[in-house]
Chains A and B, each alone.
Chain A
């Protein structure tokens, strides 16, 4: 550790310990009020640690903890380990017990210092974080530069369905799993529709498509009939993790939604697209079914019918979620100024300033939090067991997002969603994990 860093830490230490000694003495002296509080039970303490208590209950627990050293000790022991500590602990299982055990529980801060990183005072300014920030900034710049041209080329959307590429024989096993029944698409278009990797990737971002999860998953987007609640857990089982799961973009407008239905399977059948996603280990984003939309044009309906004929599967096999009730008739102006709330684990929306509320999204697990930046069309909602849903059209259609990065998958409760920019989303979880995406939820990184 260099001298400057040591000085900084020493300065900070002096500054942090300016508490008069008498304050410590009086803090330590337990007031008689302790007797009026019962020790919180294990489940309440757990809910406190996972930030699941109501404000009133949380305040009660805090008042007790402020006075009770035993419960503070229990809480500290019961906190989930940090990622770094967990890794060290896992390694320790194979080590002799005689090793220096105290060193295993050092947090990432001291681990960073140990490996020679400059131990900057503010953790987010460390080199490891700055490296990722630089990478994220680079990706954002690249997307901004490249994306507009492909957005232009992706119009009109229906053509995507016609020109969607068919699978190639060289597709990897993972890609083959992902593409599933891709050979049923339009093989004669293979040559002209096989773009380069970058073009394909960007087209994925700019052109609405739905990828086939797996033959078992049977992802399909029937446009007829009301939306049905579907099994998220089933989708997770069927897709089996990030590597073999499909990915698709979230439409930016209602026209994209229409196009996604039209282009669903042929586009998904592109093994090169699927392969690309599989190689990138992108998380799966599964299309929820939009409500029947009278605005669908006849060509779209025709294409959808063809798709359905080729790819029709029982709705019970489809992956995804959700409910969106009678939203097609809601004016777009109101959709972007809706009020949102979560009641009984269901995301509700009010279009009349909070006088009446309608269920907007419901998942297999209770939803706990939501984000609607600037009351715009982008709505995110998170819930128990890693549930994350997203709508980019004010709640008209919803996508279930399976958050994963490499082999790690988000399974904890999503307790907070922070949309920092149109593309940057950060999730906080009940077990104190932090997941971030810089591409509007397509790929995620665990911090």
Chain B
């Protein structure tokens, strides 16, 4: 590396070190430079010096220094961390689990992981070393906590006893029939082509709304948009997809009427619907009032919630 580049790099590193306040937590400039180098190598290894400076300047340097100092066991850093985030972690856990007891358990568990109660080769093994300052530390904690919650839920789900299942009658519920390929191959091809033309963001929007049942508000917050923008986008996507699929079907030799019929009217869907309804061992009404439209809508209003106002994810 040429000398002027080295001096420029060291100047940037010194500036970043000063801004981070890492000195207050006992991190030396060399240690902090190594941390930044590691992060940079991970995410932008091929970047130029200028790009590297931009990348590092956009990091949450203060929070990065705090997290890494905590991971290194600095007591002052831990005091600051506890002051700033202990209460927030409990609030996050409550938001994720929606249950006070589970929230306390989840928050304490994550706190132990962050503290690094387990050790590897005699060294503390703290989760905070994985924080790279790309987003806020609070947001990272929330994501890690959500991941932990999902993992726990899956673990718990696997360990449900057979007796409980028997008592609840789960074992007597008939299995859902294997999905039968009901649609025309040409229809599938046209649909796949139309979906492939969508941008990643459009596809994410569709999947979040129609598959995951997320609300417009959630999708909007994920994408940094307004709810009304997401609503308009969904309308536009629905219309556009329909047109593209119809065009694709016509390209495959269907007439307009045939294509429309293939897309709109699929009597076998009703058969499938009835079958799945009949095999349900629940007290719900077998035949809802609006039948097919009700299934299409999932009873959800414009904001993605059920008609009774409850969240479909709850």
Grouping DSSP codes into helix (H, G, I), strand (E, B) and loop, the A interface class, with mixed when no group exceeds half, is helix
Complexed CA–CA distance, A63 and B192 (Å): 16
A302 within 8 A of B: no
Could you say which of A89-97, A128-136, A180-188, A206-214 contacts chain B? A89-97
Complexed CA–CA distance, A213 and B150 (Å): 48
Knowing A51-B224, A73-B150, A122-B228, the reply to whether A344 touches B91 (Cβ < 8 A) is no
Complexed CA–CA distance, A63 and B60 (Å): 25
- Specify which chain B residues have a CB less than 8 angstroms from the CB of A23 in the assembled complex: 191, 194-195, 206, 210, 241, 245
A12 within 8 A of B: yes
Complexed CA–CA distance, A45 and B314 (Å): 23
Instruction: Establish whether residues B53 and A102, one from each chain, have CB atoms under 8 Å apart when the complex forms.
Output: no
- Residue on B with the closest CB to A39? B147
- How does the 8 Å CB contact mask read for A87-120 relative to B, with 1 for contact and 0 for none? 0011011000100011111110110011000000
Q: Min CB distance, B189 to chain A, in Å?
A: 10
Instruction: Establish whether residues A74 and B211, one from each chain, have CB atoms under 8 Å apart when the complex forms.
Output: no
- Specify which chain A residues have a CB less than 8 angstroms from the CB of B208 in the assembled complex: 72, 76
Which one of A75, A101, A343 has the highest number of Cβ atoms from chain B below 10 Å of its Cβ? A75
Complexed CA–CA distance, A65 and B138 (Å): 22
- Specify which chain B residues have a CB less than 8 angstroms from the CB of A65 in the assembled complex: 200, 204, 207
Size of the B side of the interface (Cβ < 8 Å), in residues, is 91
B261-282 residues with Cβ-Cβ distance < 8 A to A are 263-264, 266, 269
- Contact partner of B94 (CB less than 8 A), chosen from A89, A343, A412, is A89
A39-81 residues with Cβ-Cβ distance < 8 A to B are 41-53, 59, 62-63, 65-67, 69-70, 72-81
Contact count A vs B, C-beta below 8 Å = 247
B36-88 residues with Cβ-Cβ distance < 8 A to A are 53-54, 56-58, 60-62
- Residue on B with the closest CB to A17? B297
- Contact partner of B311 (CB less than 8 A), chosen from A75, A105, A364, is A105
Complexed CA–CA distance, A291 and B128 (Å): 43
Instruction: Establish whether residues B146 and A50, one from each chain, have CB atoms under 8 Å apart when the complex forms.
Output: no
Knowing A18-B238, A28-B211, A43-B132, the reply to whether A104 touches B296 (Cβ < 8 A) is no
- Specify which chain A residues have a CB less than 8 angstroms from the CB of B90 in the assembled complex: 93
- Specify which chain A residues have a CB less than 8 angstroms from the CB of B183 in the assembled complex: 22, 25
Knowing A77-B150, A384-B60, the reply to whether A43 touches B134 (Cβ < 8 A) is yes
A420 within 8 A of B: no
Complexed CA–CA distance, A103 and B308 (Å): 11
Knowing A16-B231, A101-B314, the reply to whether A109 touches B188 (Cβ < 8 A) is no
Instruction: Establish whether residues B130 and A42, one from each chain, have CB atoms under 8 Å apart when the complex forms.
Output: yes
- Specify which chain A residues have a CB less than 8 angstroms from the CB of B12 in the assembled complex: 344
- Specify which chain A residues have a CB less than 8 angstroms from the CB of B150 in the assembled complex: 70, 73-74, 77
- How does the 8 Å CB contact mask read for B267-311 relative to A, with 1 for contact and 0 for none? 001000000000000000000000001001110111101000111
- Specify which chain B residues have a CB less than 8 angstroms from the CB of A365 in the assembled complex: 19, 62
- Specify which chain B residues have a CB less than 8 angstroms from the CB of A114 in the assembled complex: 309
- Residue on A with the closest CB to B184? A22
A152 within 8 A of B: no
Could you say which of B118-126, B168-176, B213-221 contacts chain A? B213-221
Which one of A13, A41, A78 has the highest number of Cβ atoms from chain B below 10 Å of its Cβ? A78
Knowing A23-B241, A66-B203, A72-B208, the reply to whether A45 touches B297 (Cβ < 8 A) is no
B94-150 residues with Cβ-Cβ distance < 8 A to A are 94-96, 98-101, 130-136, 138-140, 142-147, 149-150
A359-402 residues with Cβ-Cβ distance < 8 A to B are 364-366, 368, 384-385
- Specify which chain A residues have a CB less than 8 angstroms from the CB of B27 in the assembled complex: none
- Residue on A with the closest CB to B314? A102
Complexed CA–CA distance, A24 and B208 (Å): 11
Complexed CA–CA distance, A332 and B180 (Å): 73
A163 within 8 A of B: no
Instruction: Establish whether residues A430 and B301, one from each chain, have CB atoms under 8 Å apart when the complex forms.
Output: no
Complexed CA–CA distance, A49 and B146 (Å): 13
| B-to-A contact residues, CB < 8 Å | 12, 19, 53-54, 56-58, 60-62, 90-91, 94-96, 98-101, 130-136, 138-140, 142-147, 149-150, 183, 187-188, 191-192, 194-195, 200-201, 203-204, 206-208, 210-212, 214-215, 217-218, 221-222, 224, 226-228, 231, 234-235, 237-239, 241-242, 245, 263-264, 266, 269, 293, 296-298, 300-303, 305, 309-311, 313-314
| Interface CB pairs A-B, < 8 A, 20 | A9-B302, A19-B210, A23-B241, A25-B191, A26-B192, A28-B211, A43-B134, A73-B212, A74-B150, A77-B150, A92-B94, A102-B311, A102-B314, A105-B314, A106-B310, A107-B217, A122-B228, A123-B226, A344-B12, A368-B58
